[in-house]
């Protein structure tokens, strides 16, 4: 199945080569542009089906995702599971649930996200769920796990539609910066100097 998932990303032009500034602050020669996938409902449904099928035995009550791509993934995965969908928004350095989302105490929550590099947005969403109190995190599902190694989410069951380890660098150790390859900040117009 991972070959089929990779082919979806390639068909959509979602795997980009260059010099990228990731949301984590790290630099990478490869960028996974999830919105190239999320603009196509058929592909989005197919990937969310993989996540929903993986966690269907976990008795999930709510699917939560971080803004922005996680909203779409949470909604579709929740639709497939027949449960509630919510999303966590940025507030300073953390995430929080706003908009009067009401969740029954004891609910089992599945957290979904698009591309995992350091796990920052997933951890922030886990913290936001924990702040709601008396909820159980039943799993974490992502489209692509591009992390360098296994990220520990404290024993929470984890699933990725595709495992694609991708090299990342701090700005100080980035070989692309060293040879002055222009740095692109995805989602921003133009290029940022390195």
Per-residue pLDDT of the chain (194 residues; tens, 9 = 90+): 678 999 999 999 999 999 999 888 999 999 989 999 999 999 999 999 999 999 999 999 999 999 989 999 999 999 999 999 999 999 988 999 998 887 888 899 999 999 998 889 999 999 999 888 878 899 999 999 988 877 889 899 999 999 988 889 999 999 999 999 999 998 766 544 43
Residue 100: its pLDDT value, please? 86
Contact between 142 and 164 under an 8 Å Cβ cutoff? The reply is no
In a domain, 56, yes or no: yes
In a domain, 52, yes or no: yes
In a domain, 192, yes or no: no
In a domain, 74, yes or no: yes
C-alpha distances (whole Å) from 185 to each of 23, 85, 192 are 9, 30, 6
Burial state string for 142-151 with b = 16 or more CB within 10 A and e = fewer than 16: bbbbbbeeeb
Per residue, the 3-state secondary structure of 114-145, as one string, reads EEECCCHHHHHHHHHHHHHCCCEEEEEEEEEE
CATH number at residue 97: 3.40.50.2020
In a domain, 186, yes or no: no
Residue 194: its pLDDT value, please? 35
Residue 94 dihedral angles phi and psi, to the nearest 5°: -130, -175
- DSSP annotation of 192 reads B
Residue 79: its pLDDT value, please? 98
Encode pLDDT of 9-43 as tens digits: 999 999 999 999 988 899 999 998 999 999 999 99
In a domain, 123, yes or no: yes
How many domains, the chain? 1
In a domain, 191, yes or no: no
Q: In which domain, by residue range, is 166 found?
A: 2-178
């Amino acid at each position: 199945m991972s070959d089929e998932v990779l082919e979806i990303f390639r068909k959509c032009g979602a795997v980009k080569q260059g010099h990228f500034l990731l949301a984590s602050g790290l630099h990478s020669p490869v960028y996974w542009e999830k919105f190239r996938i999320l603009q196509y409902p058929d592909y989005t449904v197919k990937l969310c089906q993989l996540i929903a099928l993986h966690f269907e035995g976990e008795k999930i009550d709510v699917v939560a995702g971080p803004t922005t791509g996680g909203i779409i993934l949470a909604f579709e995965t929740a639709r497939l599971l027949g449960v509630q969908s919510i999303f966590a928004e940025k507030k300073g350095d953390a995430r929080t649930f706003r908009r009067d989302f009401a969740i029954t105490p004891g609910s089992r929550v599945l957290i979904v996200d698009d591309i995992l590099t350091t796990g920052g947005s997933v951890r922030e969403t886990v913290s936001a769920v924990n702040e709601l109190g008396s909820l159980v995190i039943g799993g974490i599902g992502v489209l692509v796990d591009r992390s360098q190694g296994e990220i520990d989410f404290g024993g929470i069951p984890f699933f990725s539609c595709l495992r694609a380890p991708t090299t990342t660098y701090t700005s100080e150790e980035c070989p692309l910066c060293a040879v002055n390859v222009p740095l692109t900040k995805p989602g921003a117009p133009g290029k940022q100097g390195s």
